[in-house]
Amino acid sequence: MKEAGISLGFSLSYLVGFVFSLAVFARAMGGLDFKGLASGAVRSALCAAAMGAVVASFPGLHVLLRAAAGAVVYVLLARFACPVEWNLSRKLWNRSDT
């Protein structure tokens, strides 16, 4: 499978590690809201898909400009599509400044 096999192997190993870490974290926390977690992941994935569409739609632009445009689109969409996660990240960001 060449490079695709290496990519597949890394992807599967990270997926297994993520699931294991999530299970350990859920047990330590006494349970997790998996419905809310899945909802946030879907909303974040939609923001990422829109970011990818913006980046792919300007093939003639310099790569840094495309990346900047994609980042702006992602942040703006995430601000309104994921308000709970946005507020939590702002609290964490402000707490790290002190």
Q: Render pLDDT for 9-38 as a digit per residue (tens, 0 to 9).
A: 999 999 999 999 989 998 998 888 889 888
Q: Is the dihedral of CA 1, 51, 92, 19 positive or negative?
A: negative
Kindly state the DSSP code that residue 30 receives in the 8-state scheme. T
Alpha-carbon distances of 90 from 73, 95, 96, rounded to whole Å: 18, 8, 10
Residue 90 has, within 13 A of its CA and on its CB side, a CA count of: 9
Report pLDDT for 51.
95
**pTM for the structure as a whole:** 0.67
What pLDDT is recorded for position 97? 64
